[in-house]
A and B are shown apart, each in its own frame.
Chain A
Amino acid sequence: MSLKRKDFLGLYDASAEEIKEILETAVAMKDILTRTVKKVPTLRGKTVINLFYEPSTRTKFSFNLAAKRLSADVMSISKSGSSIAKGESLLDTAKTMEVMGADVVVIRHSAPGAAQFLAENISASVLNAGDGAHAHPTQALLDIYSIKENFGQIEGLNVLIVGDIAHSRVARSNIWGLNKMGAQVSVAGPQTLLPREIEKMGVKVYNNLDQALENVDVVNILRIQMERQESGLFPSIREYREIYGMNKERLQRIGKKALIMHPGPMNRGIEIESSVADSSQSVITEQVKNGVAIRMALLYLLAGREVDNENLN
């Protein structure tokens, strides 16, 4: 099994078949995570470098763990504490990664297109762990995986993404991926946090959360950044919570079958009430676990291209 590509930069150019393949591989990976010995030798001798230009706790940790579970040599480079902070250009960093013998470089960067730039300048596989508001394919894949785990399928489901769509790579990657898998995606938020012509991506657009919540199967709630309020995109945290916060009343209205998701980290009591986050319908902690499985699957499919399949067993 392998992906017929060097890099994995987003779901915008991934086919439904590729997404299915990744999801299936992740099932096997999740199985490994439930064993007593949670490690396989699949990527022994392979080098994975996590190159993080943006602060990240969860994603970096998740990629680290995923690489270690597959026995790869893994190194993490963050913006502080390395030459990146000294203004080394992405090109030079790429060249350094190259000579260090990286097989996969996982990159997180605030600039859209940074992962593509790296991919064009390095022979190692590049895995996009988030580039600005552009793409965050592993997050979307773990979201899709979590949905499929609960419903058995994606096709025909109504998935609502709530919050700051404009600045969200998670939303964009989810829209691409879910659309390809046959879901109907909607987005809801204040108009100031919805990007121009988002409807052309094939989503329904709502400014009214209560209308958007009718007939939903999945509600994916995005983190609201406090700086958006400061830059005048909405008037106050209090008002945001009132109008776009997922609370107990709204949870009751959507019914027991609907799934609650959040990519984290959550602002409890703002975009999501604790009673919602911790409800039986919430799969937020399971998402974290699925994230490791998805990243293992992608590392395997990219770095393990020539690795024997049997190693998985």
Chain B
Amino acid sequence: MKTLIKNAEVFDPRNDLEGKYDILIEGKNVIQISENIKNQGYELIDATDKVVIPALIDMHTHLREPGYEDKETVKTGCEAAAAGGFSAVAAMPNTNPVADNPAVVEHLNLKSKEALVKVYPVGSITQGSKGEKLSEIGTLAKTGVKALTDDGNPVMNSEIMRRAMEYASAFDLPIIDHCEDKNLSKDGVMHEGYYSTIYGLNGIPAASEEIMVSRDIVLAEMTGIHLHIAHLSTEGSLKQVIAAKKRGINVTFEVTPHHLILTDKSVGDYNPDTKVHPPLRSKRDVEVLRKALKAGEIDVLATDHAPHTFEDKLGEYDYAANGISGLETALALLYEYFIKNNDISWNELINMYYYKPAEILNVEAEGIKKGSTADLIIFNPARSWTVEKEKFKSKGKNTPFAGYELSGKNEVTFVEGKMVYDDRGGKNEVLY
């Protein structure tokens, strides 16, 4: 069976697409893309006034399995990804047990086979992410991990980090670091500044992140490894990374939608859904990150999708879990805040949320062209909707964006030629 997407506004910078096209899909592939394809009994999707782009790749997702299936499973996390407009996610290793050995990675690989989107496993840097002994990085590489990180429990010991970088370089795996000096962040629950002072909550200074960014850059320069900074959130971190790039150091970084949109002020109602690591930063930090986005300085956008149960996020702010369930709001938020008003173009979004993550993870990304894998989405820029967390496919309903009114939405996701998500007419269906 062939599917014809008709009359779409198609964007793909690497395949020089920007304008009205029809796309014909057969099996797993795009078999034709041109200005007018005649419908010869194909399954027709009218995409008039809709935007078609390559499906996004989220390189920072917590699927929680194994160990925390109450928060999320590979199945539900991938459904959320499909709904959000992603064809692939990179699964962070801070599961229980930690993905520090082939058994856990193979378990994930097995579960991923039945999932709606592609899952790229990420292995831990150290055993149990305890920051003490290196994981069997070479063995992990053989099981298909695409990167290494101790996300959530960063390597504090600089000697261990140095050795990890040196050792990993043999296997061509990037090191992703969640930069946080845990002595400085200690019992902090929000960004340290005026608002932590008036809300009476313990603060996490920007320095906690910036010191580790600085350390990692020094070590990356020393070892020559590709360093990728996860969820960069402060002005100081940004300045350091940009300076390091100018010096030719192999460093990239990602920024989350929530760090581009919300500030520490929004913690004011003590809503635990605003609690996240790194914390929502100051207005100044957000402004600087937005400026960098606009200037094309940001390498990658990523959700840091961190689903939690209702109970994890219930009650006192101090005791609530860290994290935001982000897969199902990321694209719509980026559209609302940055694409709609032309701060960034669709092409720039595709670079930051498709090509660059694929390049870092060293995975396939051919975009939309004749013969390419049909991983694409149909986004409706005229689809007003309200974020209702109860409707999330993710088990994690923990979003600070609940109730937000947004003006565009992903309506259809294709992964390897198969429609896996359909929200035309508000169906909100995942399709196996």
Which residues in B have their C-beta under 8 angstroms from that of A89?
314-315
A169 to B199, CA, bound (A): 10
Selected contact of B196 from candidates A12, A111, A196, CB within 8 Å: A196
How many Cβ-Cβ contacts under 8 Å join chain A to chain B? 64
Query: Which residues from 100 to 121 on chain A have a C-beta closer than 8 Å to any C-beta of chain B?
Result: 109-114, 116-117
Q: Does B385 contact A (CB under 8 A)?
A: no
Interface residues of B in 187-235 (CB under 8 A from A): 192-194, 196-203, 205
Is A200 in contact with chain B by the CB < 8 A criterion? Answer: yes
B271 to chain A: closest residue by CB: A113
Contact at A112–B200, with CB atoms within 8 Å? yes
Q: Assess whether B193 is in contact with A112, with CB atoms less than 8 Å apart.
A: no
Q: How far is the CB of A229 from chain B (nearest CB, A)?
A: 16
- The residue from A91, A113, A169, A196 contacting B193, defined by CB atoms under 8 A apart: A196
Given A112-B270, A112-B318, does the pair A132, B196 have CB atoms closer than 8 Å? Answer: no
A131 CB-CB contact with B under 8 Å: yes
Contacts of B314 in A (CB 8 A): 89, 91
Question: In the complex, A110 Cα to B315 Cα: how many Å?
Answer: 13
Chain B positions 405 through 431: 1 when the CB is less than 8 Å from some CB of chain A, otherwise 0: 000000000000000000000000000
- Check A12 against B192 for contact (C-beta < 8 Å): no
Q: Are B200 and A90 closer than 8 Å at their CB atoms?
A: no
Pick the contact of B198: A91, A110, A114, A201 (CB < 8 A). A201
Range class of the B interface residue count? 20 to 34
Q: Which residues of B contact A172 (CB under 8 A)?
A: 197-198, 200
Does residue B269 face the partner (Cβ distance < 8 Å to A)?
yes
CB of A135 within 8 A of chain B?
A: yes
Q: Report the minimum CB–CB distance from A230 to chain B (whole Å).
A: 14
Instruction: Determine if B198 and A12 form an interchain contact, defined as CB atoms under 8 angstroms apart.
Output: yes
Q: B317 on the interface (CB 8 Å rule)? A: yes
Looking across the interface, which residue of chain A has its beta carbon closest to that of B203? Answer: A196
A51 to B23, CA, bound (A): 65
Instruction: Say whether A113 contacts B316, CB under 8 Å.
Output: yes
Known: A113-B270, A116-B269, A116-B270. A201 touches B197 (CB 8 A): yes
Which of B194, B205, B314: most chain A Cβ within 10 A? B194
Inter-subunit contact B197/A112 (CB<8 Å): no
Q: Report the minimum CB–CB distance from A83 to chain B (whole Å).
A: 15
| C-alpha gap A218/B319 in the complex (Å) | 37
Given the interface contacts A12-B198, A132-B200, does A114 sit within 8 Å of B316 by beta carbon? yes
Could you tell me the distance between the alpha carbons of A91 and B269 in the complex, rounded to whole angstroms?
16
**Contact (Cβ within 8 A) B316 A111:** yes
Do B197 and A109 have beta carbons less than 8 Å apart? Answer: no
Inter-subunit contact B200/A197 (CB<8 Å): no
Across the two chains, which residue of chain B brings its CB closest to A195?
B197
Contact B270 A132 (CB under 8 A): no
Residues of B near A134 (CB, < 8 A) are: 199-201
Interface string of B313-336 (1 = CB under 8 A from A): 011111100000000000000000
Type the 1/0 row for A227-240, where 1 means its CB is closer than 8 Å to any CB of B: 00000000000000
| Cα-based distance from A252 to B317 in the complex (angstroms) | 45
Nearest to A175 among chain B residues (CB) is B198
Q: How far is the CA of A134 from the CA of B190 in the complex (A)?
A: 14
In the complex, are the beta carbons of B317 and A112 less than 8 A apart? yes
- Contacting pair A90 B194 (CB below 8 A): no
Listed residue (A113, A134, A135) with the most chain B CB atoms within 10 angstroms of its CB: A113
> A112's closest neighbor in chain B, by CB?
B200
Q: Which residues of B contact A1 (CB under 8 A)?
A: none
Indicate if the CB atoms of B200 and A196 lie closer than 8 Å: no
Q: CA separation between A117 and B319, bound complex, in Å?
A: 13
The 5 closest A-B pairs by CB, nearest first: A134-B200, A113-B270, A111-B316, A133-B200, A112-B200
With A116-B269, A132-B318, A201-B197 already in contact, 19 other A-B pairs whose C-beta atoms are closer than 8 Å: A12-B198, A89-B314, A89-B315, A90-B316, A109-B316, A110-B318, A112-B199, A113-B270, A113-B316, A117-B315, A131-B200, A133-B200, A134-B199, A134-B200, A134-B201, A172-B200, A195-B197, A197-B194, A197-B197
Q: Name 30 interchain pairs, CB-CB below 8 A, sorted by A.
A: A89-B314, A89-B315, A90-B316, A91-B314, A111-B316, A111-B318, A112-B199, A112-B200, A112-B201, A112-B270, A113-B199, A113-B316, A113-B317, A116-B269, A116-B270, A117-B270, A117-B315, A132-B200, A132-B201, A132-B318, A133-B202, A135-B200, A195-B196, A195-B203, A196-B192, A196-B193, A196-B196, A197-B193, A200-B197, A201-B194
A residues contacting B by CB (< 8 A) are 12, 89-91, 109-114, 116-117, 131-135, 169, 172, 195-198, 200-201
